[in-house]
Amino acid sequence: MLAWAAGATASGVRAQQPGLTLPEFVPRSMLHVQETRLERSKFPVIDFHSHLTWSDGMDGRQRVTPTAPPAEVLAVMNRKNIRTMVNLTGGYGAGVAQTVKAWDRAHPGRFITFTEPWWARTPEPGYPKFQAAAIEQAHRDGARGIKVLKTLGLYLRENLKAGKLVKIDDPRFDPMWEAAGALKMPVAIHTSDPEAFFLPIDRHNERYEELHAHPDWSFHGRDFPSDRELQEARRRVLRRHPKTQFVCLHVANSENLAYVAECLDAHPNMHVEIGARIGELGRQPRTSRRFIEKYQDRVLFGTDAVPRGDEYPQQVFGEKLYEIYYRFLETEDEYFDYAPAAVPPQGRWRIYGLGLPDALLRKVYNGNAARLLGLPPVTA
Ligand SMILES: [Zn+2]
C-alpha cells in the first residue's frame, strides 16, 4: 500500500484520502528520450536459452510436451533474424530422441536440443554410471548439450521429493560432468535464483510484487541453502571438471557482477548467458558494459523464452521480447521497459541500453555460442 495521499478539499484545506494500492500504481514516464525500435538484430542470433518443450522433470516417465509447434516458432525466428534456437529442456531417455527428431532433424540448422539428467533415478545405487551412459546415449540420439535446472540444489532431495536436499557438487554426478566434457557437450546450468528470493517477502524486498504473486518462488528459510552456498557448490564442480564447459545461465549471479567476474577469472571453463536478466544488467549499464567488454568471449545471448508462456512477461517468446533484447544490447536508449508488461514484472525499475560495438555484438549474438556448440562460424 502506498502511504495516504494528500488531497485538496473544496475549502482548500488538504485532507488525508486513501491512496492507491501498489498494483493500481502504473506510472508513465514523462521523459522525452530516444526510442529506437529494432525489428531485427544487427547480426544473426543464436538464442542459447529457450524452452520449446518441457520434460516431465522428476516424474521419470520420459515424457516431453512441446510449448508450440515448430512452424509457429520458425515464423518469429525468421522475422527476428534468429538463426538457431537452443531448446534446453529437451528431455531425457526416449523423450530427448523424440525432441531431436521433431525439431532438429526436421529443420536442420534451426534448432539444437539439450538433454537433462534423469532425476527420478538419482536415489538408485547404480545412478552415477547409469547417468553417464544416458548422456552418451542422448548424444548418439542427437542432443548437443546438457541442461541442469535449479532443481539441483533447490528441489531434488535424497528420496526425490523428501529427505535432505542433494548438493550441486554431490559426487554422484561426477561421471555425468565428465561425460559432458568428453563428448564436448556444454552444460547449461541454472543455479540459485535472484538474491531477493532468499530474503523475507516484506516491504524491503525489491521483488515484493513478484514474490507476492508467486510465493512458491521464495527460498527464504526452511532448509534452503543461501545463494552464496549454492554458487560456491557450483564453483567446486567447475574446479573438479576443468575439461567440461559450463554456461552459467542468468549471468550466474546477475546482481553481483564483481563476484561473477571473480568466478570467471578463477574458472576458465565458465561462461555466462543473459536470459531473463536484462532487468538486472540494464539497471547497472556501465558496470554491465565493462563486464561484457572484459569477458567478451564468454558471454552468450539467451532469453529464457517460452512460447505461450503468458504468465511471465519477461519470458514470453515473441517479437516484442526480442526487440527489447536487441534494443538493450545495441542502442544507448535510456529508461525503457525490460519486459512487455504494464508493470515491470521483476521489480519496479527500467533499464538503459549498452550500445555495444559490432565486434562485441557478433560474439554475444552468435560467435561464442557457435564455438561452444561446435557449429560453423555464423556469417552475415
Ligand atoms: Zn530457463
Q: Which of 171-175, 226-230, 310-314, 317-321 has the lowest mean pLDDT?
A: 310-314
Looking at the domain assignment, is residue 256 inside a domain? yes
Q: Is residue 5 part of a domain?
A: no
Domain, as residue range, for 85: 36-373
Average pLDDT rounded to a whole number, residues 64-80: 98
Residue where the block lists cell 525432441: 99
> Ligand 1 mean position to 127 CA, how many Å?
25
Q: What's the domain count of the chain?
A: 1
> Is 18 inside any structural domain?
no
29 alpha carbon to ligand 1 midpoint, in Å? 30
In this structure, is residue 19 part of a structural domain?
no
- Ligand 1 mean position, distance from CA 210 (Å): 17
Coil, helix or strand at residue 308: coil
Q: Is there a domain that residue 20 lies in?
A: no
What is the Cα 240 distance to its own chain's centre? 24
Residue type present at position 295 = Y
The mean of the pLDDT values for the chain is: 95
Per-residue pLDDT of 184-195, as tens digits, reads: 999 999 999 999
Domain assignment of residue 25, yes or no: no
Please give the pLDDT value at position 3: 43
CATH code (residue 350): 3.20.20.140
Please give the average per-residue pLDDT across 373-380, as a whole number: 91
Q: What pLDDT shows up at residue 14?
A: 60
CA of 190 to the centre of ligand 1 (A): 8
Rounded distance between C-alpha atoms, residue 366 and residue 291, angstroms: 18
Distance of CA 17 from the midpoint of ligand 1 (Å): 44
Which range, of 17-21, 202-206, 256-260, 286-290, averages the lowest pLDDT? 17-21
Q: Are strands 299-300 and 270-273 parallel, antiparallel or unpaired?
A: parallel
Confidence of residue 202 (pLDDT cuts 50, 70, 90): very high
pLDDT tens digits along 92-140: 999 999 999 999 999 999 999 999 999 999 999 999 999 999 999 999 9
Indicate whether 200 belongs to any domain: yes
Contact of 53 with 39, CB cutoff 8 Å = no
CA of 121 to the centre of ligand 1 (A): 22
Is residue 21 in some structural domain? no
How confident is the model at residue 2, as a pLDDT?
Answer: 42
Ligand 1 centre to CA of 357 (Å) is: 27
